[in-house]
Amino acid sequence: MAETIRTTCAYCGVGCGVLAAPQPDGSVAIAGDPDHPANFGRLCSKGSALGETLALDDRLLHPEIGGRRVSWDDALGTVADRFRETIDRYGPESVAFYVSGQILTEDYYVANKLMKGFIGAANIDTNSRLCMASSVAGHKRAFGSDTVPGTYEDLELADLVVLAGSNLAWCHPVLYQRLAAAREKRPSMKVVLIDPRRTATAGIADLHLAIAPDGDTALFSGLLRHLFEADATDGDYINTHTSGFDEALAAAACFDGARVAAETGLAREDMKTFYRLFAATEKVVTVYSQGVNQSVRGTDKVNAIINCHLATGRLGQPGMGPFSVTGQPNAMGGREVGGLANMLAAHMALEDPGHRALVQRFWNAPRMADKPGLKAVEMFNAVADGRIKAIWIMATNPVDSLPDADAVAQALRDCPFVVVSDVVAKTDTIRHADVKLPSTGWGEKDGTVTNSERRISRQRAFLPAPDEARADWWQLAEVARRMGFGEAFAYGTAADIFREHAALSAFENDGKRDFDIGAYQDVPDADYRDLRPFQWPQGRGAQPAQKRFFTNGGFFTADGRARFVALRPSGAAMADEAYPLTLNTGRVRDHWHTMTRTGKSPRLSAHMAEPFAEIHPEDAARLSIDDADLVRVESRHGAAVVRALVTARQRPGSVFVPMHWTAEFAALARVCALVAPVTDPLSGQPASKNVPIRLERFEAG
């Protein structure tokens, strides 16, 4: 009988527990872990199909330089030498790491330590920048820290769940299943969906607000004004636990019914229904995701939502709070170890000299980055203009996933030195690598991930590392050793790194920092191996782990008060005469990112066989486009040819195209090539939901 291993799903930020049982015929049986508190045995289609994605046929199995197989020693020596030479000649700001929410916390920790504490620059950023950076920035503005206050259980306990810019049914399916099950048990629970599209999630919604792209700030600012006028704010809470309410309310004064209707495109009656429901319901959770975050005003949208929860005192209590759900399995773990260009390890702030000194002391680091590095889009702009001369890309495919993707490809072609660590041999990114490093994949690697409710779970190896594939943290530590930083990177196992990470979280932490897993700083190897999922914070002696933050205020600002943010109107619409429609990009149910894994499963590929553009019937009729026609979608940055799907689920004027297909799967379907490289000024998150485009029927030849 094969041993069954408890591990964690490799896909979305719900972070479901998985039971993996290797079979004698080489296959792996997959089931949901009934004891994991994220999913209690449930899995979605992607999680259930994990066993179908483990074949080695497309794997990168040996290090290569210039397309030739080489030894690990040669590959690592070349990476260390070229990075060292580049730094010596052009300074530490001339090199960069671009990593991923797919790597484990231990990998992230070592990458961040090497770049910020030993190379001495902060040019490490992650593809998680594309998924949740606006939530991070919004949390910090409001709470003084990047803290998710609530838990998944709050969705089940709420009387009203507002889903803003979140297709939970397809993008976080098990959390959706939990919500649907709770609603079935308690039919009085209400669900409001705020999304330009009538997505699968609308199936559970009592009210669907088909909002205009980027109308969220107006909608929630109008709600703040309504809450005050309806006497539904909590004066005691505001006075005791917050600051800035009067300024935020004054800024919201301009959001009267007419203005909100104009900015959101919603019927006044629907807005009023939503406002009255929110005002009258004590237990409200507002879940938000990429539809809120991926915007030039993403951080403002997040704060518009948080403002309404602060005004009503609805957070930190069962069934209440703003709740950001992350796209990737370890977007949250990356935040914990500072895997973003503007953060330090253990949720400390790069801009805080005290925090920088503390981390430097703990690492015994020779130098420390003292200013934020380049965020994802800026980083590839710097590759393009020659400021970055050596880049190491890990477990991600920016040539297909970053905005203005053709320019990213050109930047990598021109970059003097590109290293790519990945599990797969062929991606549109790895073809530009001077050095290719084979990484271990899901089922082969060991470490931890953190899900959207701050729950840390183990990913465990249940398969041997194939051929010469090695863990990402090992690759980084070996390069660090060859660069002369060996002592600080003498890790034997992932457990060694986890203990150091836990110790840093507790180091000189007097309770004024949110992230603390100090209870685990001396965890023995056997206990790390058997680690059960737990939520942070879990400092030494703290029993049990804390489910919710801010139950009695206690925010991480200097005065301990949460901050309201005064928000201005959104400004002009993105579409213009030359590009009169707007493109909204997103996920489909059964594919993940650029399909490097889900594309291997015929079962998953059968759900949506090809890329498509969802077009409202009015737009289709005006442009003489019939259902199933091929259409050319064009922006100022690129073009794609996909199949038309004419549907009233789509909002007039807006076109949805999924993000997954690459040149390998469908020629001319790289939708990220169309996305403008414009970002939120605070978070650096690209605006992938509101891109001006034009559309026409495609005539072959």
Q: Which chain residues interact with ligand SF4 by CB under 6 A?
A: 9, 11-12, 14-16, 39, 43-44, 46-47, 172-174
> Toward ligand SF4, which CB reaches closer, 32 or 291?
32
Nearest approach in angstroms of CB 688 to ligand SF4 is: 20
Rounded Cα–Cα distance for residues 428 and 593 (Å): 13
Q: How far apart are alpha carbons 79 and 70 in whole angstroms?
A: 13
**Chain residue whose CB lies nearest ligand SF4:** 47
Instruction: Report in angstroms how near the CB of residue 12 gets to ligand SF4 at its nearest.
Output: 3
Give strand pairing partners of 582: 654, 692
Instruction: Tell me whether residue 19 or residue 666 sits nearer to ligand SF4 (CB atom).
Output: 19
Closest approach of ligand SF4 to the CB of residue 40, in Å: 11
Q: Dihedral sign for Cα 556, 560, 562, 563, please.
A: negative
Residue whose CB is less far from ligand SF4, 11 or 323: 11
User: How near is the Cβ of 441 to ligand SF4 at its closest, in Å?
Assistant: 15
Residue 11 or 564 with smaller CB distance to ligand SF4: 11
Smallest distance from ligand SF4 to CB 50, Å: 8
DSSP string of 65-131, one letter each residue: ETTEE--HHHHHHHHHHHHHHHHHHH-GGGEEEEE-TTS-HHHHHHHHIIIIIII----EEETTHHH
Nearer to ligand SF4, 11 or 220 (CB): 11
Q: Which is nearer to ligand SF4, 325 or 348 (CB)?
A: 325
Rounded Cα–Cα distance for residues 342 and 124 (Å): 9
Contact call for residues 550 and 149 (beta carbons, < 8 A): yes
Count CA within 13 A, CB hemisphere, residue 183.
17
3-class secondary structure for 582-607? EEEEECCCCCCCCCCCHHHCHHHHCC
Token pair for residue 639?
A: 């073009």
Q: What residue ranges in 220-260 does DSSP mark as E strands? A: 242-243
For residue 192, give the H/E element and its range: strand 190-194
Nearest distance from residue 17's CB to ligand SF4, in Å? 9
Q: Other C-beta atoms within 10 Å of 338: how many?
A: 29
Q: Which residues contact 292 (CB under 8 A, 6 or more apart)?
A: 134, 135, 164, 165, 166, 216, 298, 301, 302, 305
Token reading at 161? 């769940």
Which is nearer to ligand SF4, 46 or 670 (by Cβ)? 46
Instruction: Please say which residue, 174 or 504, places its beta carbon nearer to ligand SF4.
Output: 174
CB of 183 to ligand SF4, least distance (A): 18
Cβ 173 to ligand SF4, closest distance in Å? 5
The DSSP letter of residue 662 is: -
Residue number with CB closer to ligand SF4 (599 or 638): 599
Q: Which is nearer to ligand SF4, 103 or 388 (CB)?
A: 103
Close Cβ partners of 88 (under 8 Å, ≥ 6 residues apart) = none
CB of 178 to ligand SF4, least distance (A): 10
Residue 151 CB, shortest distance to ligand SF4, in Å, is 16
Helix (H) or strand (E) holding 182: helix 173-185
